């Protein structure tokens, strides 16, 4: 990054901090309403990490904070929060007659402890506004991402997603490897499992000791840990939902994808699809065999279902059908050579209507319609590159809906090359 770019980012940070401290010139008063609502009423100490970061990032994003600064502010505020004695926020234990003592988990009153977290965040912002320290403000080289979601014809929206280009900054990782994280979660039977996964999976991944040496192993462990954590919440709150997931970590010159269920990630390189994964479906022969070996069965009731219930064979949650619906993720890692175009992540609402082989042609069509409405080569003046990228994601969702999908649809595009190069490559492939 050039000195000029760094100066511009520092100036952007100072401008935002100035606006932020105008809105929050002092700590929130005790008992005052929070400017953003916590996800839960009660949280375990382990869940506090993910829920605080989610709350802080949501608060800052709503105020158009630079993403790199947001990550650093939240990381600093959480570090300060965890140094506090949190015992005053403990909930009274309600032991059920059939609950064993070792299963007791200390829960915190979420609104009260998040009030403290936000005051830590305000305190850091006030300090940095007065004297901006030397910060690692440079964002990842993979920072261009667009996403679009629709409820479609379903009664509820049960998809969730997360794009985190500043993975290292958010978790205070200071090695030489840049990391960016992207994930799509497709909930069923309610949105709780999808929300939980979007809040905690990346946190669990950041804590895995093998993250720097074996990313696939770290991902698998993080999925299992998130599933185990959600089991505790589901038991406490009598939740029955589940969620498929697909997550991508771009780390250095490698890309690792991890998945549970039928959400998918597709890599496009020089206009051609590179297969990253094989989605888990009940009718997949090895999945069918695994379930039958456990004593379960696959039946067709409108679609293939595990034991006549869920239409997914692997998911976070769905504890009434574990281990038939497995919580074990699969992973794959490939090298990045610099000629990759983009990664597309989407739920099955997209892939039910769109074959992965169609993705390059649809992205090219969407780009051409947006960038070259009159057959020219120049971006229309009313369109920034960011708005063009966003329109591509919107058009892809529209293609899936027009193709007959009635499910929730979420599409995330992580661009690995400039748009003009994508157009040139795509046009060459088309001819």
Scan for tokens 């205070």, then name that residue: 172
Give the single-character DSSP code of 271: T
Give the model's pLDDT for residue 98. 45
Distances (CA, A) of 345 to 98, 149, 245, 338, 417: 43, 12, 10, 19, 17
Contact 167, 181 (CB under 8 A): yes
Give the model's pLDDT for residue 137. 63
Averaged pLDDT, groups of 10, the chain, 431 residues long: 70 95 96 94 96 98 94 97 95 58 79 97 97 72 83 95 95 92 97 98 97 96 98 95 98 96 96 94 96 96 93 96 97 95 96 96 91 55 75 95 96 92 72 56
**Could you tell me which residues are beta bridge partners of residue 164?**
181
Q: How far, in Å, CA of 163 to CA of 343, rounded?
A: 12
Q: How far, in Å, CA of 219 to CA of 202, rounded?
A: 9
Give the model's pLDDT for residue 88. 94
Task: Please give the distance of CA 297 from its chain centroid, rounded to a whole number.
Answer: 32
Q: What is the DSSP string of 24-35?
A: -SSPPPTTPPPS
Scan for tokens 């990054």, then name that residue: 1
The greatest distance separating any two alpha carbons of the chain, rounded to the nearest whole angstrom, comes to 72
Give the model's pLDDT for residue 369. 86
Distances (CA, A) of 192 to 35, 148, 384: 22, 20, 36
What are the start-end ranges of the H helices in 238-355?
285-293, 348-351
Domains of the chain, CATH where assigned: 3-130 (no CATH), 145-280+330-430 (3.60.40.10)
């Amino acid at each position: 990054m050039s000195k000029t770019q760094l100066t511009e980012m520092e100036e952007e940070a100072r401008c935002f901090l100035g606006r932020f401290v105008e809105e929050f010139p002092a700590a929130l008063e005790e008992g005052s309403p929070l400017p953003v609502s916590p996800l839960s009423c009660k949280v375990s100490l382990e869940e506090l990490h993910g829920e605080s970061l989610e709350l802080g990032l949501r608060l800052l994003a709503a105020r158009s904070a630079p993403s790199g600064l947001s990550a650093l502010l939240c990381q600093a505020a959480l570090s300060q929060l965890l140094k506090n004695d949190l015992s005053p926020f403990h909930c009274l234990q309600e032991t059920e007659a059939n609950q064993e003592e070792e299963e007791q988990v200390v829960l915190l009153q979420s609104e009260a402890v998040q009030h403290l977290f936000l005051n830590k965040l305000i305190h850091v912002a006030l300090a940095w506004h007065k004297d901006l320290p030397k910060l690692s403000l440079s964002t990842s080289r993979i920072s261009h991402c667009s996403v679009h979601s629709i409820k479609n014809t379903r009664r509820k929206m049960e998809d969730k997603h997360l794009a985190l280009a500043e993975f290292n900054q958010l978790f205070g990782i200071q090695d030489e490897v840049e990391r960016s994280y992207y994930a799509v979660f497709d909930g069923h039977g309610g949105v709780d499992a999808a929300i939980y996964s979007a809040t905690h999976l990346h946190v669990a991944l950041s804590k895995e000791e093998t993250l720097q040496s074996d990313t696939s192993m770290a991902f698998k462990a993080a999925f299992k840990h998130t599933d185990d954590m959600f089991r505790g919440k589901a038991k406490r709150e009598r939740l029955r939902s589940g969620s498929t997931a697909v997550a991508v970590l771009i780390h250095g010159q490698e890309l690792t994808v991890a998945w549970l269920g039928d959400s998918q990630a597709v890599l496009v390189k020089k206009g051609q699809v590179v297969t990253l994964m094989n989605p888990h479906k009940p009718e997949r022969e090895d999945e069918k065999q695994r379930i039958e070996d456990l004593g379960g069965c696959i039946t067709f009731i409108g679609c293939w279902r595990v034991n006549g219930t869920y239409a997914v064979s692997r998911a976070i949650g769905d504890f009434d059908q574990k281990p038939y619906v497995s919580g074990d993720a699969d992973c794959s890692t490939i090298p990045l050579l610099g000629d990759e175009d983009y990664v597309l992540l989407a739920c099955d609402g997209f892939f039910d209507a769109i074959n992965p082989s169609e993705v390059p042609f649809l992205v090219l069509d969407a780009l051409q319609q947006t960038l070259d409405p009159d057959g020219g080569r120049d971006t229309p003046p009313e369109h920034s590159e960011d708005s063009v990228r966003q329109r591509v994601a919107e058009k892809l969702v529209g293609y899936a809906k027009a193709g007959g999908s009635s499910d929730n649809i979420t599409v995330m595009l992580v661009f690995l090359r400039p748009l003009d190069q994508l157009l040139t490559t795509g046009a060459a492939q088309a001819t």
